[in-house]
């Protein structure tokens, strides 16, 4: 059942009530000025000036007040930007965020090469696919290194707002390349309200609306492309950091990460750990405890 709340002018209210005077019905609610029982809908006009329309025909009656049904774009048969991030749940390595622009004429190619939910792909397959996708698909990749991550977390950003900043910047930079998406989708990592709250603190803004959708990676090829490129970027960063320190850095935040972190801590101290890991994770304290045993 549709439910629509509007705040029309007093003139519009009076005109609507006069037009449907035959439908006026007494209401026991002291805050309702007019209550109208219409075919397939009821209309409550409150003393506050708000008008509540409910029922199957609510949208039809709401058009009298200038209400327009929002056209929700579904599917992906149109130019679309999709973004995703990788590295958020890993103690070692940076945070990679990628925005990709995909058009319908690229869908067959993407499906043919095996683009889909990257969680179902091996790292080896992702590395192979990523080099092809980076060449064929317009995208914008950003990597926040662990040392830079540690620098901004706690001062300017938290674990959520830093992702908002990266996703927003990746989309902003991609839009500068004169792509024209009909929709922008972010694989949801927070609520839309939170996203908009943190977005206010960012310097770069654009007029295109943004949609946050859960499990978007499995719904939109553009998000899947971003996930694959971001995973490749994260893995490359993990390898490079480990090579510089002389350790094989594991992905994730399990016991293996605690063990390697304690070894790095012993060899290089906190400076070495800050270079390759996200220090606010609980793994840092666990690594210190392992050293004390």
d(Cα 27, Cα 36) in Å, to the nearest integer? Answer: 9
Three-class secondary structure of residue 206 per DSSP: coil
Distances (CA, A) of 274 to 70, 91, 97, 165: 48, 11, 20, 21
- The response to whether 292 counts as a known ligand-binding position is no
Burial degree of 155 (CB within 10 A; 0-12, 13-18, 19+): exposed
**Residue carrying structure tokens 């109208």:** 36
- The response to whether 232 counts as a known ligand-binding position is no
Phi first, then psi: what are they for 29, rounded to 5°? -75, 115
Closest CA to 170 of 191, 155, 182, 185: 185
Closest CA to 49 of 102, 9, 101, 95: 9
- The response to whether 108 counts as a known ligand-binding position is no
As given in the structure block, the two tokens for residue 174 are: 């991609």
- Strand locations in 29-176, DSSP E? 32-38, 41-46, 51-54, 80-86, 95-102, 138-144
Q: Which residues are annotated as a binding site for a divalent metal cation?
A: 84-85, 187
């Amino acid at each position: 059942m549709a439910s629509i709340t509007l705040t029309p002018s007093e003139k519009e209210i009076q005109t609507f009530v006069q037009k449907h005077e035959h439908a006026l019905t007494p209401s026991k609610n002291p805050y309702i000025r007019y209550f109208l029982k219409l075919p397939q809908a009821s209309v409550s006009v409150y003393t506050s000036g708000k008008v509540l329309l409910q029922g199957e025909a609510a949208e039809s009656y709401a058009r009298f007040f200038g209400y327009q049904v929002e056209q929700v774009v579904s599917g992906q048969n149109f130019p679309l930007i999709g973004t995703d991030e990788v590295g958020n749940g890993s103690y070692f390595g940076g945070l990679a965020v990628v925005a990709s622009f995909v058009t319908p004429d690229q869908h067959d190619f993407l499906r043919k090469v095996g683009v889909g939910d990257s969680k179902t792909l091996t790292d080896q397959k992702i590395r192979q696919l990523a080099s092809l996708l980076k060449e064929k698909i317009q995208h914008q990749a950003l990597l926040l290194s662990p040392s830079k991550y540690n620098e901004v977390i706690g001062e300017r950003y938290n674990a959520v707002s830093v992702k908002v900043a990266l996703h927003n910047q990746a989309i902003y930079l991609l839009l500068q390349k004169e792509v024209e998406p009909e929709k922008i989708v972010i694989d949801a990592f927070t609520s839309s309200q939170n996203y908009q709250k943190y977005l206010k603190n960012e310097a770069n803004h654009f007029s295109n609306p943004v949609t946050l959708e859960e499990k978007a990676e499995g719904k939109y090829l553009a998000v899947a492309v971003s996930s694959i490129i971001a995973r490749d970027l994260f893995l490359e960063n993990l390898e490079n950091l480990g090579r510089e320190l002389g350790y094989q850095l594991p992905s994730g935040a399990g016991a293996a990460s605690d063990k390697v972190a304690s070894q790095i801590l012993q060899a290089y101290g906190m400076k070495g750990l800050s270079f390759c890991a996200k220090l606010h994770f609980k793994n840092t304290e666990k690594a210190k405890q392992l050293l004390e045993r």
